[in-house]
Amino acid sequence: MPCDLILALDVPTREEAAPILRQLRGTLRWVKIGLQMFTAYGPNYVWEIAGMGFNIFLDLKLHDIPNTVAKAVESLAPLPIQMLTLHTAGGGEMMRAAKEAQRKHNPKLLLLGVTVLTSMDSAGLNEIGISSSSAEQVARLGGLAAEAGLRGLVCSPLEVTLLRQKLPRDMQLITPGIRPANEQGGDDQKRVMSPADAARAGSSYIVVGRPILKAGDPAAAARAILTELGSV
């Protein structure tokens, strides 16, 4: 199964993002817009980046009562987005409501269930009252998402092999927490893996931010990761 690259556009301002995006046009296809940039600039910014030729992964991690999440999916449906996230911890009823709204209002949109954030480990889960390990919790939430009709998940690359064994073959697995082998730690990601290892494990897409955004030549950094993926 081929694996593609998504840029996490986690920068403070559109002015900082603009030259990076210009350099990356023609090199990669996907850009992830997260809560920070969407809150700052709104739907018009989604249209702006889509107008540059990128596919859009809108990472809002919706989590609320079922009706509210369904209405949010409906409100977002006219935007030029291909992926949208919601928290699987919202439960089966919430995910089913979101799926029905997506089916009615944007049939081509891929809803992605976020399992356990890559900033959390088992100790972090225990802190909020979840005694399961991160892998066990990811498997539980992933199964719940599949039962609710979702066909995509966001998970740590460390849980991809486990999910591939338990979930339908067509489930799209999107994995943040990716670090090229020559990159050091020093950020808030705890459950990480290299691009090639994530692809070999069965990731459908990998999400990479800082190693591209902070590179002297972002396009060269993206090409290196795509080359690594292509070698798997």
Model pLDDT, residue 218: 96
Structural contact between residues 192 and 183, judged by C-beta atoms closer than 8 angstroms: no
For tokens 């944007």, the residue is 106
Helices (H), the chain: 14-24, 35-41, 43-51, 66-76, 92-105, 122-127, 134-147, 160-166, 195-201, 210-213, 218-230
User: Measured between alpha carbons, how far is 75 from 92 in angstroms, rounded to an integer?
Assistant: 21
Model pLDDT, residue 134: 87
CATH number for position 155: 3.20.20.70
Q: Is 108 a catalytic residue?
A: no
State the amino acid at position 119 in one-letter form.
Answer: S
Angle at 215 between CA 213 and CA 219, to 5 degrees: 80
Considering only CA atoms, which of 72, 115, 109 is closest in space to residue 90? 115
Model pLDDT, residue 186: 45
User: Measured between alpha carbons, how far is 32 from 34 in angstroms, rounded to an integer?
Assistant: 6
Q: How many domains does the chain have?
A: 1
State the amino acid at position 126 in one-letter form.
Answer: N
Structural contact between residues 115 and 155, judged by C-beta atoms closer than 8 angstroms: yes
Identified catalytic residue from 32, 61, 108, 166: 61
Considering only CA atoms, which of 93, 83, 27, 39 is closest in space to residue 63? 93
Rg, the chain, Cα only:
17
| Whole-prediction pTM | 0.92
Model pLDDT, residue 120: 83
- Chunked mean pLDDT (size 10), the chain, 232 residues: 92 96 96 96 97 98 98 98 98 98 98 90 88 90 97 93 94 90 54 85 95 95 93 68
Structural contact between residues 61 and 69, judged by C-beta atoms closer than 8 angstroms: no
Range of the domain at 168: 4-230
